[in-house]
Amino acid sequence: MSDTPSALPAIRRLSYAVGHFLNDLCASMWFTYLLVFYHSVLGFQNTYAGVLLLVGQVADAICTPLIGYESDRTPGCGNYGKRKTWHLVGTLSVLLSFAFIFNQCLGCSTDTPQWASLTYFVPFIIIFQFGWAATQISHLSLIPELVTCEHAKVELTAYRYAFTVIANITVYAVAYLLFHVQAGGDDDPLSDALGPADVNIFRNLALIVLAIGALFCIFFHLGTTESRPEGGEEEQEEGERRPLLRRPRTVSSILQWKCWLKQPSFYQVALLYMSTRLIVNLSQTYISMYLINTLGLPKKFIATIPLVMYLSGFLSSFIMKPLSKLIGKCLTYFVGLLLIMAFSYWVLLDDTMGQRVYGAAVLLGAGSATILVISLAMTAELIADQTQSGAFVYGAMSFTDKLANGVAVMIIQALHPCHTVLCCPACVWFYHYIMVIVTGGVAVIATLALCSIIIWPIRIRPRGLPVKAEDEARIN
């Protein structure tokens, strides 16, 4: 394959980019509305709502590296390809489970204990997270297999993130329309607090999300062709095309999952990716609580502010490739961190933000898009031509991300000063400082990880790896 981005036709780039659309739609609802739905709509305690999110994140964290390992070693279903096979399994799991998460407990009543309702939702959350992880890892693992040029990887990642943004915009636009229809066109009811009457809104939103996502998954599977392994092509060579003596390929150029654990760059990128995901996911999770409880804004803002965030992220995704070409990936990532820190300082200093929150949302959206795209591009750079173990790398990165997010949310929920469904005066300042810490505080950690990559660039270090012929290594 040529190293130019044009080696991948536009239609295949488009079909690949939409392959994660269902996951992105569901993830948008999961991180933005899960705590709001279970606490403010179903009336769960803060800790119970946090436990459900923690269960999902831990299940995802466990499934992700295991799926990555299996995705690398299993051949797939017939000629369909191992990545697309896992993608299909994950898609079906998400479609069958997600609608139950954003709905009332079937068979439960007002007298049902909360722990019983919590137990009802746990299996659906685990199935959903398994499917989400299978889809995510298989989709990410296709990037280094579809393109080889570094700039082409950034471009493909940017296209992927552009549709991630479109997915989030879709969720928030539909949510706003559902709130508006519920209000009957009158603006006054939109300022009411969330409550049990909003269950139907979230249920309908989940069903719409699944229907739209399923259509895009069909387009992905029809338009994306997974390349065949190089080893299979070599074995099919016959006659004069087969060389008398094979050129030995060394183990130092073929990293299996155990070898990655000995690479310093593996841990550098893992820390950077984990920090990036903490900023993006935690800010997305608590922005709704901040808007409603700290700023006292109407509930329609939990749809419009995330919409503004992702619109700015969508626009910024188009300048990722030229900017990274001009100043490099590290400096581009640092530009994104500066935007995140600017948002954090704005929130810290302006405790009566009001309508100015739209301007802050633009900074957060553009910064989040920038650091997320570049962190994924750095992960693809780490994998380079090691596509045979690429799914394990993505799985390990996602493991740190999911586990860190779940633990962070559980700690925040446990520290919540109020023990009632309604917000007490103490929670006004609680969410104010949470938004500052999960953006500016975590950005400091991300900056340290970025500095380590600038000082010790991403590369595979052969130190400690035995140099043997590939065929000998397979026998041993």
Residue 475 contacts residue 297 (beta carbons within 8 Å): no
Mean pLDDT is highest, among 32-41, 107-116, 337-346, 419-428, for 337-346
Which pLDDT value is given to residue 246?
Answer: 45
Q: What is the pTM of this model?
A: 0.73
Q: Residue range 439-450: average pLDDT?
A: 91
Which pLDDT value is given to residue 276?
Answer: 93
Q: Give the tens place of pLDDT for each residue, 257-296.
A: 667 777 788 888 889 999 999 999 899 888 888 888 888 8
Considering only the C-alpha atoms of the chain, give the largest distance between any 2 of them, rounded to a whole number of Å: 81
Q: Give the tens place of pLDDT for each residue, 201-248.
A: 899 999 999 999 999 999 988 887 776 655 443 333 344 444 444 444
Q: In angstroms, what is the C-alpha Rg of the chain? A: 23
Q: Please, which pLDDT band fits residue 2 given cuts at 50, 70 and 90?
A: very low
pLDDT at 314 over 60: yes
Distance of alpha carbon 93 from its chain centroid, rounded?
17
For 104-118, 238-252, 322-336, which range has the lowest pLDDT when averaged over its residues?
238-252
Q: Which two three-digit tokens encode residue 122?
A: 């746990």
Q: Which two three-digit tokens encode residue 196?
A: 């049990």
Burial of 464 (0-12, 13-18, 19+ CB in 10 A): exposed
Strand partners, 469: 250
Nearest alpha-carbon partner for 432 in 322, 336, 294, 302: 294
Nearest alpha-carbon partner for 160 in 13, 338, 361, 267: 13
DSSP label at residue 317: H
Residue appearing with tokens 């060394």: 250
pLDDT at 155 over 60: yes
Q: Which two three-digit tokens encode residue 6?
A: 């044009």
The continuous run of DSSP H or E covering 14 comes out as helix 10-17
The whole-angstrom separation of Cα 313 and Cα 361 is: 10
Q: Which two three-digit tokens encode residue 385?
A: 């031509």
